[in-house]
Structure 1
Amino acid sequence: MILGIDIGSTSTDAVLLDDGRVAATAKVPSASGDPVASFLAAVHAVPAAARARVGQVALGLRAAARAVAARRGLGRVGVLRIGTADAVRPLYGWPADLRETVLAGVAEVAGGGGLGPGDTVPLDRDAVARFGDRLAGQADAFAVSAVFAPADGSQEREAAEILRARTDVPVLLSGEVGPLGLLHRENATVLDAALSSLVDGIARRVEEALPGLGLAPGAAVFVTRHDGTLMTLDYLRRQPGLSLGSGPACTLRGAGLLAGTEDAVVADIGARRARVGTLSGGYPQVSGTTERIGGVPVNLRFPDLITVDAAAHRDLAEAADRMRPGAGRFPLVLVGGGADAVPDLPGFDVVRPAHGAVAGAFGAAASPVGGHHERIVRPGAVPTEAARAEVLDLARAGAVRAGADPKRLRTVLEPDLPVPYLPGAVLIRARAAGPPLPL
């Protein structure tokens, strides 16, 4: 059996799947400010006999997003930029209160790569060492970002070795976080670093509680991520920001799975607000613009959503119409606790699936483990089959590191994209997904 749990602000939902079918559901009050207590309450709401057959738990964890929004539980970060960008300093555009909460210190040092070997500037190793010495004992984590790191991350790794020799705190690298654009990638890395202590504490408490929950021997815990797939607790520790936006992503996936469709407009109706998104090919349609987390612009691939007043049915209909693709007639799937209060909207085939009130938990339980990789092809160059094959291989490797069974992975090469800030360059993208490794 698989147990899916979605921790909301007021209630925590649980869905028990037996060979893909809903065997039981539960809803318990969430423990304010304590996601682990909410998780434990939801697990104990499942009968003991059924718990003994649970080999996988998929946890919808929204603690990271709430911590950023509330400015609570965040660590102090040393921000190191390799390769200067004099026009815009690190953390430019951050809300002042969040910057004050997070920033332990900042340094810009000489270095940085490029799209070719001749573009590389040597790393100022002494400046990196001085920065590490200055913030030793003051920073809870370091965030390292280098110009063109997704194309060549060697200098980020070199700087990380220097910092780790002087401190015993996490060092996170931007080349593992996002695509080429420096500022938004740097922002996402700083958020990861600020969240690292929080998610490590949550993961440790969950791991410590597992032996006493009465689950099947060797039961594994996975966490939902922002693209509608899963990752292990260790992978969450490496990139806490992947859990940002995971709640809506799993609700969208769960709604489509419950309705028996891979393509739909989905409205999650809560007590006060409704969030509307699109499911395409079984996965959330992602926003094509920069997202903001707690006021910080980042380049993470979050679901594209419109939020409206749940009681304003005309606004809901307009939002659903805006999210519907121009071609094709997607059904409108209504889920969430307030779905029954929404009338059928004209122009839509409305579906209210069974168990829609716990769509997020169902989506967590039924989602695969995923991985994603991107690569920039230099301006004027034509992407080769070898380059595409390597991107696919790296997406597979990412899924395996996240906990997927390498023998049952499916890979998809996404359409190439132009790089707006690098005319003539092309972005190759691939994703991989599959079930977790068996017990």
Structure 2
Amino acid sequence: MSPGSERGQVGMVRAGVDVGPTNTDAALLDDGGRVLATVKVASVPDDPVACVRAALGALPPHEFAQVAVGLRGAASAVTRRRGLRRVAVLRISGESARGVRPLSGWPADLRAAVSAGTETVAGGGGLDREDWTPLDRDAVARFAARMAGTAEAVAVTGLFSPLDGGQEREAAEIIRAEAGDLPISLSAELGSIGLLERENATVLDAALSGFAGAVAEGLAETLSGLCPGAAVFVTRGDGTLMSLEHLARHPGLSLGSGPASVLRGAGVLAGLDDAVVADVGWARVGVGVLAGGFPEEAVGGAGIGGVPVGLRIPGLIQVPRPIDPAELAEAVDRLQPGPGPLQPGSGRLRPGQGRLPLVVVGGGAHAVPEGLHPEHGRCAGAIGAAVSPVGGQYERIVRLPDTAAREAVAEEARAAAVRAGADPRDVELVEADETPLDYLPGSFVKLRARAAGRPSHL
């Protein structure tokens, strides 16, 4: 444990915790971001709340203003097929999207663990209002009645619902009336445009509702006694934070949050906004990119447990251990900025900006002599959690010209950050991009915005 101050020498501090499968790391930081202490304790299998309790208890005693927890348990639940709720999957699209059924392409064991039945009903939209089809309310009611008593959660995905989520909300009201107060995940609230990837993310979001609810409740109860008065947040896959209440509502947003925290922590410790980061664990090395201070997301979509999902998750190249230096060097080279223009959605790296430095962190960092090895790098994930802002995002398809759409999307991203727990007085736009959709008729673009701000301690 690095040196820390005793109670009374330092004022209100913040702590970050990174719950890993083998070890749980914790870090203590002052208001200026200076690392006061770090610890590494053995993780308690399948009990993230106990892991957090043990790690915080090993830190020097202080009055915590904020605790941010990095949870890798959601991804583990999906990959291990454990602790998942059975989900009734409703797609609102009619004949236009029946070619590929819900959950098609899922690994058979994951589909068997999650699916409580699927149905496609008439409804859904298009790019123009005249292309929308009324929701078949009777079909939704029949589906809900059939799933009642079998499903533990529901996922609802509507065609083009990121343009208008009204039919998803309407379906949710019918489902509650027929099946009771089940957890219902709506794809429009997750924001991705692509139907299948958005549907997959929504199903996993619903399947993880039991895990997330138990963790949120356990953390709230434990930390209210251990850290009274502290604001509690958890990490999410885009390198930002969200409140415990937001985790319970949208557990899928925590997928990929472990690597995201490591990337942010590595950049903070090295004093870099742009870098290639190698997180050296005991079994493998995860190599990713920090771009503009945030994790660069997976190009072409991310995958969890063999399922492509429309979520912001860091793009990583996995290198097994023992480490082959040539294989690691190839992974680092593949993540360097290219000479040409950026592909849509590929992140914030600038073409031609030069070779990025390599930052090496993690418990096994000593096995990689190359690159920068910042102090406290063994606990980069905990430090990344402690220093991250609260974030929100929003994306939408619009037809040009639409002069008001850009500001409307930015305002929705700011509002999403506030709902996740950001201080409304401090939220700023951190990313806004516009991607032409050449495969659609007419002048359509996808607008996407991200906002972030300091956590609200109210």
Amino acid aligned to 1:432: A
- C-alpha distance in structure 2 between counterparts of 1:232 and 1:383, whole Å: 34
Give the secondary structure class of the aligned counterpart of 1:351.
Answer: coil
Alignment of 1:84-95 (within 5 A): 84=94, 85-95=97-107
Which of 328, 341, 346 is the aligned partner of 2:367?
341
* Aligned match of 1:210: 223
**Distance (whole Å) between structure 1 residues aligned to residue 450 and residue 402 of structure 2:** 17
TM normalised by structure 1 equals: 0.94
Is 1:73 the counterpart of 2:83 in the alignment?
yes
Q: Deviations over 1:42-70 (max 9, x none)?
A: 1111233x1xx101110000111000001
2:397 to 352, 371, 376: 376
Structure 2 Cα separation of the partners of residues 270 and 202 of structure 1: 25
Q: How does 1:99-178 map to 2 (within 5 A)?
A: 99-166=111-178, 167-178=180-191
Q: Structure 1 counterpart of 2:436, which letter?
A: P
Residues 135-190 of structure 1 show CA distances to partners (whole Å, capped at 9, x for unaligned) of: 11211111011111000111001001111122111111111113222111111101
Q: Give the Cα–Cα distance (whole angstroms) in 1 for the partners of residues 431 and 448 of structure 2.
A: 6
Farther off after superposition, 391-400 or 315-324: 315-324
Counterpart position of 2:265? 254
What is the CA–CA distance in structure 2 between the aligned matches of 1:419 and 1:31, rounded to whole Å? 47
Could you say if the C-alpha distance between residues 307 and 343 of structure 1 is closer, same or farther in structure 2, counting changes exceeding 3 Å?
A: same
Q: Does 1:366 align with 2:392?
A: no
Aligned to 1:354: 375
User: Shift of residue 299 of structure 1?
Assistant: 1.7
Residue 57 in structure 1 maps to residue 84 in structure 2 = no
Equivalent-residue separation in structure 1 for 2:35 and 2:299 (angstroms):
34
Mapped pair 1:426 → 2:452:
no
Give the Å deviation of 1:40.
1.0
Please report the RMSD computed on the Cα atoms of aligned residues, expressed in angstroms.
1.3
* Cα distance in structure 2, aligned partners of 1:312 and 1:383: 52
Identical counterparts, % of pairs: 61
Q: Distance in 2 between the 1:31 and 1:418 partners?
A: 48
Q: Residue 64 of structure 2 contacts residue 229 of structure 2 at CA under 8 Å; is this kept in 1?
A: no
Corresponding residue of 1:271: 282
| Structure 1 residues 216-249: Cα deviation after superposition (integer angstroms, max 9, x where no partner) | x421210100010000011111111111111111
Superposition deviation, residue 194 in structure 1: 0.6
Q: Distance in 2 between matches of 1:168 and 1:45?
A: 40
The answer to whether the 8 Å contact 2:98/2:120 transfers is no
Provide the rounded CA distance (Å) in 1 between the counterparts of 2:380 and 2:123. 48
Deviation readout 1:52-104 (Å, 9 max, x if unpaired): x1011100001110000010000011111111212111111111111111111
C-alpha displacement at 1:383, in angstroms?
4.3
Please tell me whether the aligned partners of residues 85 and 207 of structure 2 are also in contact (alpha carbons under 8 angstroms).
yes
Q: Is the 8 A contact 1:335 1:357 kept in 2?
A: yes
Distance in 1 (CA, whole Å) between partners of 2:87 and 2:106 is 14
Q: Unpaired segments of 5 or more residues in structure 2?
A: 1-12, 339-351
Distance 2:221 2:457 in 1: 21
User: In the alignment, which residue of structure 2 is the partner of 1:325?
Assistant: 337
Q: Choose 422-431 or 80-89, whichever is displaced more.
A: 422-431
Match of 1:387 among 400, 405, 408: 405
Distance in 1 (alpha carbons) for counterparts of 2:398 and 2:451: 20
Alpha-carbon contact 1:309-1:315 (below 8 Å) kept? no
Give the match for residue 301 of structure 1. Answer: 312
Query: What letter corresponds to residue 90 of structure 2 in structure 1?
Result: L
Q: Which amino acid aligns with 1:25?
A: T
Secondary structure in 2 matching 1:407: coil
Q: Is the 8 A contact 1:309 1:316 kept in 2?
A: no
Aligned partner letter, 2:93: G
Aligned residue pairs, count = 426
Cα displacement (A) at 1:265:
0.9
Structure 2 letter corresponding to 1:90: P
Give the C-alpha shift of residue 425 in structure 1.
2.2
User: In structure 1, the residue corresponding to 2:160 is in which secondary structure?
Assistant: coil
More deviation, 274-283/174-183: 174-183
Q: Is the contact made by 2:49 and 2:222 (CA closer than 8 Å) also made in structure 1?
A: no
CA distance, structure 1, for counterparts of residue 333 and residue 365 of structure 2: 17
8 Å CA contact retained: 2:395, 2:409: yes
Cross-structure match for 2:7? none
Q: Given residue 86 of structure 2, which amino acid in structure 1 is its aligned partner?
A: R
Residue equivalent to 1:347? none
- The 4+ residue runs of structure 1 with deviation greater than 4 A are none
> Counterpart amino acid of 2:374?
P
Report the Cα offset of residue 341 of structure 1: 2.4
Q: Which residue of 2 aligns with 1:402?
A: 420
Which residue of structure 1 lines up, in the alignment, with residue 194 of structure 2?
181
DSSP 3-state at the match of 1:431: strand
Give the TM-score, by structure 2 length.
Answer: 0.91
